[in-house]
Amino acid sequence: MTRTLYRSVLWLHPPRFRKRYAEEMAWIFDETGTAGEKAFLFYDGLVSLARQWVVRSGMWKIALAVLGALIQAHFILHPYD
């Protein structure tokens, strides 16, 4: 079951990333022994998934703009903190 979940996470990656790295990542997952190591790889796969979609799609620009607006709003609302 964990292998199926991990493969699903790999499948959700962008096609270029998936074609290049999915088989190797799946092989590493299959060769990993302990449940803790598999949990770490699953977590790493989820982080990679988020990173690939945010960076490749250009959403990082929106996230950076929102962060900048929040910082600016903080200094406007609390000028002497």
- What's the confidence (pLDDT) of residue 81? 65
Q: Which domain holds residue 58?
A: 2-77
The Cα–Cα gap between 44 and 52 comes to 12
Q: Model pTM greater than 0.75?
A: no
The Cα–Cα gap between 58 and 28 comes to 29
Which of residues 62 and 67 earns the better pLDDT score?
67
Report residue 37's pLDDT band, with 50, 70 and 90 as the boundaries. Answer: very high
The mean of the pLDDT values for the chain is: 89
Q: What percent of the chain has pLDDT over 70?
A: 99
Number of domains forming the structure of the chain: 1
Q: What percent of the chain has pLDDT over 90?
A: 54
Count of CA atoms in the C-beta half-sphere (13 A) of 54? 11
The Cα–Cα gap between 46 and 60 comes to 17
- What's the confidence (pLDDT) of residue 54? 78
The Cα–Cα gap between 66 and 8 comes to 30
